[in-house]
Structure 1
Amino acid sequence: MAMVVAALACAASGAQAQENRFAGIMKVVRGDVQVQRQEQKLPAQVGDKLYSGDRIVTAADAAAGITLRDDTLMSLGPKTSFVLEDFKFNESSGDGNIAVRVAKGTLRYVSGLIGKHAPERQQVATPTATIGIRGTDFIVEVGDE
């Protein structure tokens, strides 16, 4: 009996840890969009939860829209490879940080609560530069090499 309770407690804490990493959701999926999580490649669907470490890849005729828990909005254009490297957000205080990487393609970024409380806690990296965000709405385009 004690082992069953311990197993259930571990499963619950694992689910809670996964939920604590929950960063946002897919709000728009048009065309072939994949979420790569660890070794899995999953077809993206509206309503899918996203987590720190997820890579989102859009095909040539595809696009995606993401809303993070702090109401940051991100739109990915065709042929984009994007990684949500880090996301932490405390809903009570509004504190947190966001770090994303765009390997190629197009990203439109509209700041949410983290950007309003601490704009310096937002970061967008590309293959050639890292951008510290101070504004609230911008577009990043990374071309193929």
Structure 2
Amino acid sequence: MSRFCGAVAAGLFAALLGPMQAFSAEPVGQATLIRTEVTGEAGPLVVRSPVHRDERIRTSTSGLGQFVFKDGTKLAVGAGSTVVIDKFVYDDSDSVKRLSIKAAKGTFRWISGNSASSAYSIVTPAGTIGVRGTAFDFYVGPNGTTAIVLLNGSASFCGPGGCRQLRQQCDCVVATRGGRMTDPSQVDRRTLQTLSNPRALPFLSGDQQLSGALGGIRTSCGLASLRQDRQDRPQRQQRQEQPSPQAPQQAPQAPQAPQQTPQQAPDTPDKPDKPDHHHDWDHHDWDHHDWDHGGRDHHDRDHRGHDRDDDDHDRDGHNGHRSDN
């Protein structure tokens, strides 16, 4: 009985101590911006809330969190995301020997801090992102498919299918959990189609707005027009469904009967003076002119208003053809 009581007491103590240990762990950074709902191990986070090593951070379907680590590294966590601060090993200076995060799902933006490039690594279900003094966005889908878009510097992505190097601004690589990986190419709307998520890169398309240094990156890689296009499309469809007020539809009119020249009786000549002579008068056939109905043009009016969708002038992101915004 005493052993049972002791085991129960130990279990309760461990259950209570676990959250306290996580909360009391030395912080490795803090929140600089919180929108809607962002939670850590100890509950909801607010601006200036500390974040700790091994802490799991989650955002709601509309949530957004921005964080800065002690070496100056900045991380944005977009809507519907989950990330774990995996490893954080201090150096003697303002840099770190190791900073590693595990991104389980969602959308993120990363800007490197003061530490050596070799100190950083980002682990995703499809592979690992290697950092080279870099800023980039990356997305992890529900099935583990991962996309990375380089914003400046350089980066690498290594998975079961090998490694790819991203060296030019807006280079993008998409990799699956099974090892398939694309070559670096310019990100465009087809990338979002491949990811089956039009909001996979919300910081580039403008679906979520960042602040400070995280929001100070000037390029959208040609995706900024996508959000406006989604907003305009319902209005265009509504205009197309409504009939044009300038040309109301009219019921088709029956063809009119041809107008004919009214027949007139021939003038009656004066009767002869002598009634003993009987004259048979000639009856002249009056020509009836048939009107040519085939020559009457019937123009059907187009009662539909034609609204032409504005063409999206995004750059075509093929290999070897790159354009920076």
Q: TM-score, normalised by structure 2?
A: 0.36
Q: Percent identity?
A: 27
Distance of 2:104 and 2:28 partners within structure 1? 20
- Is the CA contact 1:107–1:139 (under 8 Å) kept in the aligned structure 2? yes
Distance of 1:76 and 1:85 partners within structure 2? 15
- Cα deviation for residue 48 of structure 1 reads 0.8
The aligned residue for residue 12 of structure 1 is: none
Q: Which ranges of structure 2 fall in alignment gaps of 5 or more residues?
A: 1-20, 144-325
The aligned residue for residue 212 of structure 2 is: none
Which structure: greater strand fraction? 1
- Cα deviation for residue 128 of structure 1 reads 1.4
The aligned residue for residue 88 of structure 1 is: 89
Distance of 2:37 and 2:57 partners within structure 1? 11
- Cα deviation for residue 94 of structure 1 reads 2.9
**Is the counterpart of residue 34 in structure 1 residue 32 in structure 2?**
no
- Cα deviation for residue 101 of structure 1 reads 0.8
Distance of 1:93 and 1:63 partners within structure 2? 27
Moved more, 122-131 or 84-93: 84-93
Amino acid at match of 1:74: L
- Is the CA contact 1:69–1:89 (under 8 Å) kept in the aligned structure 2? no
The aligned residue for residue 131 of structure 1 is: 129
- Cα deviation for residue 140 of structure 1 reads 1.1
Larger radius of gyration: 2
The aligned residue for residue 50 of structure 1 is: 51
Distance of 1:136 and 1:22 partners within structure 2? 24
Between the two structures, name the one with larger relative contact order (CA 8 Å, sep ≥ 6).
1
**Is the counterpart of residue 79 in structure 1 residue 80 in structure 2?**
yes
Alpha carbons of 1:55 and 1:93: their partners in 2 closer, same or farther (altered >3 Å)? closer
The aligned residue for residue 69 of structure 1 is: 70
Distance of 2:52 and 2:64 partners within structure 1? 19
- Is the CA contact 1:70–1:89 (under 8 Å) kept in the aligned structure 2? no
- Is the CA contact 1:119–1:134 (under 8 Å) kept in the aligned structure 2? yes
Q: Which ranges of structure 1 fall in alignment gaps of 5 or more residues?
A: 1-14
In the alignment, which of 20, 29, 33 is matched to residue 24 of structure 1? 29
- Cα deviation for residue 51 of structure 1 reads 0.8
RMSD: 1.8
- Cα deviation for residue 84 of structure 1 reads 0.5
- Cα deviation for residue 93 of structure 1 reads 6.3
Instruction: Please give the secondary structure, in 2, of the residue aligned with 1:120.
Output: helix
Amino acid at match of 2:128: T
Measured against aligned partners, the alpha-carbon deviations of 1:25-83 in whole angstroms (never above 9, x if no partner) come to 011110111102xxx4x011111111110110001111000000001000010000011
Amino acid at match of 2:34: V
- Number of aligned residue pairs: 121
Distance of 1:91 and 1:73 partners within structure 2? 20
- Is the CA contact 1:101–1:126 (under 8 Å) kept in the aligned structure 2? yes
- Is the CA contact 2:71–2:94 (under 8 Å) kept in the aligned structure 1? no
Alpha carbons of 1:93 and 1:48: their partners in 2 closer, same or farther (altered >3 Å)? closer
- Cα deviation for residue 91 of structure 1 reads 5.0
